[in-house]
Amino acid sequence: MSVGAPAASALRPLVVKIGGAAGVDLENVCADVAELVQRGERVIVVNGGSDAGERLLGALGMERPEVTTANGNVVRLTYAPTLRALTMAWVGEVNKAVVLALLAKGVTALGLCGADGRVLTARRRPPLKLQTGDGRMRIDREHLAGEVSEVNTALLGTLLEGGYVPVVCPPAVTQEGVLVNVDADAVASALAAAVGARALVILSNVPGLLADPKDPATLVRASDDVQGCMALAGGRMRYKLEAVRRALEGGVPTAYVSASRVARPVFSALEEAGGTKFTLRERTGADAGA
């Protein structure tokens, strides 16, 4: 999952993912990142950009079609023209907004998309078998989606050693030099595992995992069974839990899913004052032998 090795350091970095949905409080998050850096922490920020991307697509009269795969899953397709527009939003708008917000707080931030320095290399997903309206199937070979396969930890380590806060966002790049859409939560998870992060904090416009999505009072405060929690998750929360699962299984000791629109959102998560804390259940002797 990594390229090279991060610069030697006793400090394990913290990875903070800022959600791309509407309602995320960027100023609050960046204020916390600035305070963490002032305390001597090493921080990597990952930004999404779903809201900005959809707004730009709408302004350009473009859309991402929803289709049904052969096994019944509904997916949104990304083609070259839409990915160019989404890249403008993710990299040109949101990533730079995060960088500027951090610079305003005295943090030397550096924005990167996955192609910059090949910080994120991805495997392109194979052609999709899709259902058509008349009950037939068709093969789509043009969609541009991928999974992060390598993280350039040497580059990230050099930046961290130099006192920079890397701000990383999709898209990623394939070995052949093709940009592909990758999920920002999955990016944060892959980065956290690759750099040996001390924790992953995923911030969004929801308070955490809710047993009842309509009732904030049903917040799940902690769990060591991410897979079991999948039954409670819907929509984008499933992506977040999958990212948490991969980070924990990749060696990250703790992951949090929490709200950005609270006072001191990163510290609220880390201090367990809000959000959901996830850890990996320790395997018993019987489990280990199974």
pLDDT at 286: 52
Tell me the pLDDT tens digit for each residue of 108-165: 999 999 999 999 999 999 998 888 877 788 898 999 999 999 999 999 999 999 999 9
Q: 82 is written with which tokens?
A: 């839409």
* Phi, psi angles (nearest 5°) of residue 116: -70, 115
C-alpha closest to that of 47 among 104, 93, 106: 93
Task: Report the SS3 class of residue 211.
Answer: coil
- DSSP per residue over 29-76, as a string? HHHHHHHHHHTT--EEEEE--HHHHHHHHHHTT----EEEBTTS-EEE
Amino acid present at 122? A
Residue 179 pLDDT more than 80? yes
Task: Report the SS3 class of residue 163.
Answer: coil
Q: What is the mean pLDDT of the chain?
A: 91
Phi and psi based region of residue 57 (left: phi greater than 0; alpha: psi -120 to 50; beta: remaining):
alpha
CB 147 within 8 A of CB 190: no
Q: pLDDT band for position 283 (50/70/90)?
A: low
Q: 47 is written with which tokens?
A: 């930004």
Tell me the pLDDT tens digit for each residue of 197-229: 999 999 988 899 999 888 889 999 999 999 999
76-115 burial, b if ≥16 CB within 10 A, otherwise e? Answer: ebbeeebbebbbebbbeebbebbbebbeebebebebbbbb
Give yes or no for a cis peptide into 171 (omega within 30° of 0). yes
Tell me the pLDDT tens digit for each residue of 218-271: 999 999 999 999 888 877 898 999 999 999 999 999 999 999 989 999 999 999
Pairing mode, strands 199-204 and 255-259: parallel
238-254 burial, b if ≥16 CB within 10 A, otherwise e? Answer: ebbbbbbbbbbebebeb
Give the domains, in start order, of the chain with CATH numbers.
Answer: 14-280 (3.40.1160.10)
Residue 8 pLDDT more than 50? no
